[in-house]
Chain A
């Protein structure tokens, strides 16, 4: 059967028709010499994207038994999916259709009608050349496993597990520590309700233990993981007895939390173990255990200095949670010791929840002082500081409490390597897109929640856990197959020299090396068709389906002729 190309010219009302000469386009295309041996069906329509226009296209494709189709209309961004939808209703494979933009690229930008008509003819000619080199592609369907591996059993991991587990979805929750609960269990109180957190997390842990669809592994780490969204083969290892367990899962949530930067890293913090200098978490632990804060000699402190932002100059970001928790701690102190002076040393107050400012005002009214500083030096329990205008001062205290920078949890780097996900410059897990896809990692199917991708308070961590739950529940639906991208790369084995350049440039971990054949292999289920490997391959042995060199060359050659 010979090629029969349908060329559809959309007038887009007056948008295209008034700015290019539609009749001349039709005539010139009909007379193209290099298409002399091809059968062309050239039609124009007032508005192809309208319901009537779509029906018209469908009828034309069917009645003419078209083998290829070119739609000369607006931007593919606007209506490519419309015309693909039309193809899917017919026998024409959607990958044997192409769209040419004669509105934004011709009608709207070239005032001279003759010139814009010339350009439109060239573009359409390019599209016709291209479409003949296009190949049929067929969508694949893959079974997917909907179970989820959650790494880290702090508040975020626990919350995600509780919300995800159901009779159709098993959650494997692994935790490196021997106990569940993470750092939140070490706190005495949460900002909103003092003393409520232990209760909250113990309730959640109790629910977790009762849930038959959550399999909990403590003292356990991830040993290996291979695969892609919907199909991960996972091995975990018990750190005590070295036993391994294998299972399949469709998605991974990383909820490995944070560490605190060691205060000794900051040169201006000079103190030793003899001094009454404590970080916020130590005070929380004291409060949780003893319900009071005493000096190391067992006596009541008589003057407390609270230092914010320790280590911020090293970490390079605001840790976001510290102002709030230090204010919370000063309220503990005030409640215990109504007459003890308490001074906060702050550079900037970061009060990121809507209730933090009124809480701050409350503690200030209770006589807690806030001194703005531009710098300070701690020696023992003595604070030397400079105010924002450079005026210096010295305050003697007998207890110092300070906030340390929140930094990525130990082992985050190794874990990221195992999972093949990107880290940001600070070592936290990097978002797929900071603004519009903050919960996904650079690898489809792997999500980061809570402090694993940056400082986060308890409420934020829970919200992020729920966000990951929503992502997984809407991407991995029990019983539903996954349809991977079809416009992906493929390696032509005969030309591959085995240099492995492509493995390095692939952002998605979609390429692996077949040692037996000594060639690279693209996993089509993981590849997103970005084309990086195509460009980097020195032997030209990788091609990107639907964007092959001949296709692009054929399209461009008319435009630049």
Chain B
């Protein structure tokens, strides 16, 4: 039995959290490293998950709570890996814990500080559809519910002026503007990488008009727009202040460019159609697709129901023929039907963006010294089918950082990685 029973997990989405909880059940100590100030990953950006429309928060919040309350799991939010040395069974890892400036122990999450903060910024967590302050929590319901200060933007920390409004507003003396980054060293027997995905930047495809036309949204932007804890409290109000009467959902955005099918977008697009139809009864919805990919036995039933009740599905032999143009305060979606150009006039276009490797994947894999595949995802051992171990023994992978997958597949992979880690420890 290896003396070292510590495990590091990088990324606190559903995969990372599942692995952490399981390992703690087996009596192992877990260090869970998360680059954002909150845990939970991208699943919590969704209002509901497909196909059963379970409330995401209801699924994930209890898991987040168990993580935060678990004595065997050390959660390092706002942190990133700096250096890894050693081998399977005995790694040394340096983690940079960025200064949060707000004490996780003292802060209660009352929110007084961000009410008084004078700096207004775009909130990236809300896909820039809402504002935040320089001291902020990314969204309501954040866990841990403790703000963080953006040190580039805080007037005091960036040297603009001696603003101490947040410090004065805090009744618990939880804010310390003299907080500093810490570099922590850990010795672990194995590592699980579960840093998730980003979405394909649709602005790369000029003909879709994303970032130029206000009515064009990414799938994640739509998720936030629909979320009851999001920028509009779930009201489908477009950037122009109106509610859509007609919506086009474009599948496979970036599939050609990325080189693979992202497997979850057909279901998320069907879900989006269902959401819209049930919120705005008279809306017309069009899904423009080329292949419907339904990777779970439970998916087709949902898709069939959306197809018969909520949305038209228009087959596209060539997704590249779709063009989106401005037409007054509407959008014209042009596409090919039987070889002829047809068009739909809509108020809103939702793009089903491909899932791509997370933005920091190159840096992370270089620090970890593990291989990426030709798409940029982390690759697993090629000669062992069903492997979850990366090219460096003792480092495992789970979830979308290995390739696009749905929540359950991410969780299964995380569990498989736990089996791998336990084998390392028990050797």
Q: Which of A317, A348, A352, A438 has the most CB of B within 10 A?
A: A352
CB of B260 within 8 Å of the partner chain = yes
Taking CB atoms, residues of chain A closer than 8 Å to B416 are: 463-464, 466-467, 469-470
Asked if A320 and B172 make an inter-chain contact with CB atoms under 8 angstroms apart, the answer reads: no
CB of B392 within 8 Å of the partner chain = no
Asked if A438 and B408 make an inter-chain contact with CB atoms under 8 angstroms apart, the answer reads: yes
Asked if A435 and B59 make an inter-chain contact with CB atoms under 8 angstroms apart, the answer reads: yes
Taking CB atoms, residues of chain A closer than 8 Å to B386 are: 159, 458-463, 465-466
Q: Report the bound CA distance from A50 to B105 in whole Å.
A: 8
- A77 and B108 in contact, given A13-B172, A435-B54, A474-B23 (Cβ under 8 angstroms): no
Tell me which residues from 139 to 196 in chain A have a Cβ below 8 Å from any Cβ of chain B.
Answer: 159, 163, 166, 190, 192-193, 196
Q: Report the bound CA distance from A336 to B59 in whole Å.
A: 51
CB of B25 within 8 Å of the partner chain = yes
Annotate A257-273 by CB proximity to B: 1 below 8 A, 0 otherwise: 00000000000000000
Taking CB atoms, residues of chain B closer than 8 Å to A460 are: 386, 409, 412
Q: Report the bound CA distance from A434 to B69 in whole Å.
A: 25
CB of B299 within 8 Å of the partner chain = yes
Q: Report the bound CA distance from A398 to B330 in whole Å.
A: 52
CB of B360 within 8 Å of the partner chain = no
Asked if B26 and A474 make an inter-chain contact with CB atoms under 8 angstroms apart, the answer reads: yes
Asked if B297 and A424 make an inter-chain contact with CB atoms under 8 angstroms apart, the answer reads: yes
- A318 and B295 in contact, given A463-B388, A473-B26, A473-B419 (Cβ under 8 angstroms): yes
Residue in contact with B52 in the complex, picked from A15, A200, A434, A461, CB distance below 8 Å: A434
Taking CB atoms, residues of chain A closer than 8 Å to B426 are: 166
Residue in contact with B291 in the complex, picked from A316, A349, A354, CB distance below 8 Å: A349
Asked if A350 and B291 make an inter-chain contact with CB atoms under 8 angstroms apart, the answer reads: yes
Residue in contact with B108 in the complex, picked from A15, A355, A388, CB distance below 8 Å: A15
Smallest Cβ-Cβ distance to B50: which chain A residue: A435
Tell me which residues from 359 to 388 in chain A have a Cβ below 8 Å from any Cβ of chain B.
Answer: 372, 388
Residue in contact with B377 in the complex, picked from A354, A435, A455, A468, CB distance below 8 Å: A354
Smallest Cβ-Cβ distance to B338: which chain A residue: A389
Q: Report the bound CA distance from A320 to B419 in whole Å.
A: 26
Q: Report the bound CA distance from A166 to B422 in whole Å.
A: 13
Asked if A477 and B27 make an inter-chain contact with CB atoms under 8 angstroms apart, the answer reads: yes
Taking CB atoms, residues of chain B closer than 8 Å to A439 are: 412, 415
Tell me which residues from 52 to 110 in chain B have a Cβ below 8 Å from any Cβ of chain A.
Answer: 52, 54, 59, 62-63, 65, 69, 105, 108, 110
Q: Which of B59, B297, B300, B315 has the most CB of A within 10 A?
A: B297
CB of B246 within 8 Å of the partner chain = no
Tell me which residues from 411 to 445 in chain A have a Cβ below 8 Å from any Cβ of chain B.
Answer: 424, 426, 428, 431, 434-439
CB of A40 within 8 Å of the partner chain = no
A-B contacts at CB below 8 angstroms, number: 180
Residue in contact with B260 in the complex, picked from A77, A351, A459, A466, CB distance below 8 Å: A351
Asked if B59 and A459 make an inter-chain contact with CB atoms under 8 angstroms apart, the answer reads: no
CB of B349 within 8 Å of the partner chain = no
Annotate B2-14 by CB proximity to A: 1 below 8 A, 0 otherwise: 0000000000001
Q: Report the bound CA distance from A252 to B263 in whole Å.
A: 31
Taking CB atoms, residues of chain B closer than 8 Å to A196 are: 385
- A354 and B403 in contact, given A12-B108, A372-B315, A462-B385 (Cβ under 8 angstroms): yes
Asked if A353 and B299 make an inter-chain contact with CB atoms under 8 angstroms apart, the answer reads: no
Asked if A463 and B412 make an inter-chain contact with CB atoms under 8 angstroms apart, the answer reads: yes
Asked if A466 and B108 make an inter-chain contact with CB atoms under 8 angstroms apart, the answer reads: no
- A320 and B49 in contact, given A13-B171, A15-B108, A470-B419 (Cβ under 8 angstroms): no
Taking CB atoms, residues of chain A closer than 8 Å to B25 are: 474-475
Asked if B259 and A470 make an inter-chain contact with CB atoms under 8 angstroms apart, the answer reads: no
CB of B358 within 8 Å of the partner chain = no
A118 → chain B closest CB, angstroms: 23
A392 → chain B closest CB, angstroms: 14
CB of A62 within 8 Å of the partner chain = no
Taking CB atoms, residues of chain A closer than 8 Å to B299 are: 317-318
Asked if B298 and A317 make an inter-chain contact with CB atoms under 8 angstroms apart, the answer reads: yes
CB of B382 within 8 Å of the partner chain = yes
Taking CB atoms, residues of chain B closer than 8 Å to A477 are: 26-27
Taking CB atoms, residues of chain B closer than 8 Å to A159 are: 386
CB of A81 within 8 Å of the partner chain = yes
Tell me which residues from 174 to 232 in chain A have a Cβ below 8 Å from any Cβ of chain B.
Answer: 190, 192-193, 196-197, 200
Asked if A358 and B259 make an inter-chain contact with CB atoms under 8 angstroms apart, the answer reads: yes
A159 → chain B closest CB, angstroms: 7
Q: Report the bound CA distance from A473 to B107 in whole Å.
A: 37
Smallest Cβ-Cβ distance to B56: which chain A residue: A435
CB of B364 within 8 Å of the partner chain = no
- A47 and B415 in contact, given A354-B373, A436-B59, A477-B27 (Cβ under 8 angstroms): no
Smallest Cβ-Cβ distance to A469: which chain B residue: B419
Smallest Cβ-Cβ distance to B402: which chain A residue: A354
Q: Report the bound CA distance from A193 to B65 in whole Å.
A: 43
Asked if A15 and B385 make an inter-chain contact with CB atoms under 8 angstroms apart, the answer reads: no
CB of B344 within 8 Å of the partner chain = no
Asked if A352 and B263 make an inter-chain contact with CB atoms under 8 angstroms apart, the answer reads: yes
Asked if A318 and B65 make an inter-chain contact with CB atoms under 8 angstroms apart, the answer reads: no
Smallest Cβ-Cβ distance to B295: which chain A residue: A352
CB of A244 within 8 Å of the partner chain = no
A463 → chain B closest CB, angstroms: 5
CB of B234 within 8 Å of the partner chain = no
Smallest Cβ-Cβ distance to B420: which chain A residue: A466
CB of A500 within 8 Å of the partner chain = no
Smallest Cβ-Cβ distance to B374: which chain A residue: A358
Taking CB atoms, residues of chain B closer than 8 Å to A81 are: 69
Asked if B375 and A354 make an inter-chain contact with CB atoms under 8 angstroms apart, the answer reads: yes
Asked if B298 and A424 make an inter-chain contact with CB atoms under 8 angstroms apart, the answer reads: yes
CB of A37 within 8 Å of the partner chain = no
Taking CB atoms, residues of chain A closer than 8 Å to B409 are: 460
Asked if B108 and A13 make an inter-chain contact with CB atoms under 8 angstroms apart, the answer reads: yes
Q: Report the bound CA distance from A51 to B261 in whole Å.
A: 50
Q: Report the bound CA distance from A14 to B18 in whole Å.
A: 34
Asked if A466 and B419 make an inter-chain contact with CB atoms under 8 angstroms apart, the answer reads: yes
Tell me which residues from 273 to 328 in chain B have a Cβ below 8 Å from any Cβ of chain A.
Answer: 291-301, 315, 317
Asked if B415 and A467 make an inter-chain contact with CB atoms under 8 angstroms apart, the answer reads: yes
Asked if B408 and A434 make an inter-chain contact with CB atoms under 8 angstroms apart, the answer reads: yes
A270 → chain B closest CB, angstroms: 25
Q: Report the bound CA distance from A15 to B294 in whole Å.
A: 46
Q: Report the bound CA distance from A105 to B38 in whole Å.
A: 25
CB of B194 within 8 Å of the partner chain = no
CB of A356 within 8 Å of the partner chain = yes
Smallest Cβ-Cβ distance to A160: which chain B residue: B419
Asked if A473 and B422 make an inter-chain contact with CB atoms under 8 angstroms apart, the answer reads: yes
Asked if A318 and B300 make an inter-chain contact with CB atoms under 8 angstroms apart, the answer reads: yes
- A435 and B27 in contact, given A192-B382, A462-B385 (Cβ under 8 angstroms): no
CB of A357 within 8 Å of the partner chain = yes
Asked if A436 and B317 make an inter-chain contact with CB atoms under 8 angstroms apart, the answer reads: no
Q: Report the bound CA distance from A351 to B295 in whole Å.
A: 9
- A466 and B26 in contact, given A348-B292, A352-B295 (Cβ under 8 angstroms): no
CB of B411 within 8 Å of the partner chain = yes
Asked if A474 and B22 make an inter-chain contact with CB atoms under 8 angstroms apart, the answer reads: yes
CB of B418 within 8 Å of the partner chain = yes
Asked if A436 and B385 make an inter-chain contact with CB atoms under 8 angstroms apart, the answer reads: no
CB of B413 within 8 Å of the partner chain = yes
CB of A454 within 8 Å of the partner chain = yes
CB of B254 within 8 Å of the partner chain = no
CB of A471 within 8 Å of the partner chain = yes
CB of A78 within 8 Å of the partner chain = yes
Asked if B261 and A356 make an inter-chain contact with CB atoms under 8 angstroms apart, the answer reads: yes
CB of B362 within 8 Å of the partner chain = no
Nearest 4 A/B pairs, CB to CB: A462-B386, A467-B415, A466-B416, A470-B418
9 A–B contacts, CB within 8 A, in A order = A15-B110, A78-B65, A190-B385, A351-B293, A354-B375, A356-B261, A463-B412, A464-B416, A466-B388
Other A-B pairs, 5, CB within 8 Å; known A356-B261, A357-B259 = A13-B171, A318-B299, A352-B293, A389-B315, A470-B22
Binding site for A on B (CB under 8 A): 14, 18, 22-23, 25-27, 49, 51-52, 54, 59, 62-63, 65, 69, 105, 108, 110, 112, 171-172, 255, 259-261, 263, 291-301, 315, 317, 337-338, 373, 375, 377, 382-383, 385-386, 388, 403-404, 407-409, 411-413, 415-416, 418-420, 422-423, 426
